[in-house]
Amino acid sequence: MSTNATITVKCNDGKFRQIYTHWDGYPNHNGRILQQDYQDQKKIEALVALGDISILASSIECPAGHSFRTPIAGCTVAYGRDRGEKGVSAQVFDTLKESQKKGLQQFNYYWDGEKWFVNNELLEEFLSSLPD
């Protein structure tokens, strides 16, 4: 069974972009990957530029041979890039409040330009409270 999540990012243009993730949205997976591997604004904006994703991984750069059917370990799997789906672009909002009214899932990650939050808690603190 999947654990869906959203990732919402405050982008440099002042807009908020939100994508859906289908698998492993719980903090021990998506949360840890975002906290460890997505701390650079450019990389984070490139992640949401992929649009909705099947599963988040530490890299958005994928070698030849990576696809939805033949994913390469460590590479994010995106519905548009890797399966050719249409209509999976990031949703764009003018305010964070607008984004929170659309498509929220069990876990919702938000990058404010400096740090990650999950369901309105600071992600770093939330992760430190979880058992290993």
pLDDT in tens, 44-88: 999 999 999 999 999 999 888 888 898 889 999 999 999 999 999
What is the average per-residue pLDDT within 23-33? 95
pLDDT at 132: 65
In a domain, 92, yes or no: yes
Look at strands 91-93 and 16-21 and give their pairing.
Answer: antiparallel
* Range(s) of the domain holding residue 81: 5-125
Tally of structural domains, the chain:
1
In a domain, 80, yes or no: yes
Average pLDDT, the chain: 92
